[in-house]
């Protein structure tokens, strides 16, 4: 946790707030958009096409506990 803003002044970490915790719940697992990678070398007939989809996890932050 790098920053907590509440009723008082915000707490800023250097670089993080010691002892601060986050309580979260996994909502979803999904894949991102497809990225196409195409490699080619001229005059040799060499070409290679490859695709990639990154896996992501969506979280729901339920509580931020200041240390």
Per-residue pLDDT of the chain (67 residues), as tens digits, is 888 887 788 888 899 888 899 999 999 999 999 999 999 999 999 999 999 999 999 999 999 888 7
* Cα–Cα dist 11/14, whole Å: 10
How confident is the model at residue 54, as a pLDDT?
98
Phi/psi of residue 37, nearest 5 degrees: -110, 125
Hey, where are the domains in the chain? 20-65
How confident is the model at residue 44, as a pLDDT?
97
How confident is the model at residue 23, as a pLDDT?
96
How confident is the model at residue 29, as a pLDDT?
98
How confident is the model at residue 1, as a pLDDT?
86
CA trace torsion 56, 58, 63, 67 (10° rounding)? 10
């Amino acid at each position: 946790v790098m920053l907590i803003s509440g009723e008082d002044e915000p707490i800023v970490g250097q670089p993080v707030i010691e002892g601060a915790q986050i309580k979260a719940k996994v909502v979803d697992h999904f894949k991102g958009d497809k990225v196409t990678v195409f490699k080619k070398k001229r005059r040799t007939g060499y070409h290679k096409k490859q695709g990639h989809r990154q896996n992501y996890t969506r979280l729901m932050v339920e509580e931020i506990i200041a240390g």
